[in-house]
Amino acid sequence: DTKAKGVQALSRKMTIYCSDETHHCLERSVEILGLGNEALRWIPTDDDCRIRIDALKRAIEDDKKQNKHPFCIIGCAGTVNSGAFDELNALADLAKKENMWFHVDGAFGAWVKISKTHRHLADGMERADSIAIDLHKWMNMPYGIGCTLVKDRFAHYSTFVYGHEAKYLKSAFDQLKDQIINPHNLALPLSRDFTSLKAYMLLRAYGKNKYSNLVQQNIDQTNYLGELIRKEPNMEITAPVVSNIVCFRYKPKR
């Protein structure tokens, strides 16, 4: 029981898998979890900056042979380097086969799902066990609105719920305990502000259609910029233009 005994309760070393394009904060996350950054497997990517499924499978098999416990695959829905999307359905299939947790880092690009032309990039995201989303990025909301969606409500709640509820909190919720879940049992903070109000008010004011138009406009602008750069003899595209990022450099002809 890691909740009671921490990582000392683990009989085998646990391993996590992600592409070498994944956001660097993941390394800090595994360190905070107490697993150590040696638990992280950075899997190489293909020419489209997507995780290589063949290399991922080999890494999992290699760790199993060494009696390690592969427990989590992380897929990218929009990398911060190039805006690339991993093949999420393929990752979901593999996670299911290996009985592993499937997490999608959609902090940057999950909102492609509400675009008109590129929503297919995030196909398979709905199969994730958990998804990380930042509304202060592509949704242009005030800073500090990040959230994690967890499919298994019980797993989410049991991770954070206090084993011994504080007495000064208990009486206030006794009569309502079957009707509500205390927010402090869903994340790390105990005292917290009404952060979600920002998201609620903006979604109510603008609605899905306007945000969909905004996302689509960004994608169209990105494609337009990519085409302009391709026509410029002294410029070079350095990564596939997939969603809302154009990577290019100045490369004068000699």
Over residues 87-117, the pLDDT tens digits come to 999 999 999 999 999 999 999 899 999 999 9
- What pLDDT shows up at residue 184? 76
Of 106, 122, 98, the residue nearest 16 (C-alpha): 98
- What pLDDT shows up at residue 77? 97
- pTM metric for this prediction: 0.90
Residues found in the chain: 254
| C-alpha–C-alpha distance, residues 223 and 186, integer Å | 39
- What pLDDT shows up at residue 253? 82
- String of DSSP letters for 191-230: S---THHHHHHHHHHHHHHHHHHHHHHHHHHHHHHHHHHH
- What pLDDT shows up at residue 96? 98
- What pLDDT shows up at residue 191? 81
Find out if CATH 3.40.50.920 is the number for domain 2-158+180-195: no
Instruction: Cite the residue boundaries of each domain of the chain with CATH code 3.40.640.10.
Output: 2-158+180-195
Mark the ranges of the chain whose per-residue pLDDT is less than 50.
Answer: none
- What pLDDT shows up at residue 192? 81
| C-alpha–C-alpha distance, residues 139 and 152, integer Å | 26
- What pLDDT shows up at residue 178? 59
* CA angle in degrees (0–180, nearest 5) for 216-220-223: 140
Q: Within its chain, how far is the Cα of 90 from the centroid?
A: 16
Distances (CA, A) of 109 to 10, 72, 106, 153, 243: 34, 20, 5, 24, 8
- What pLDDT shows up at residue 177? 57
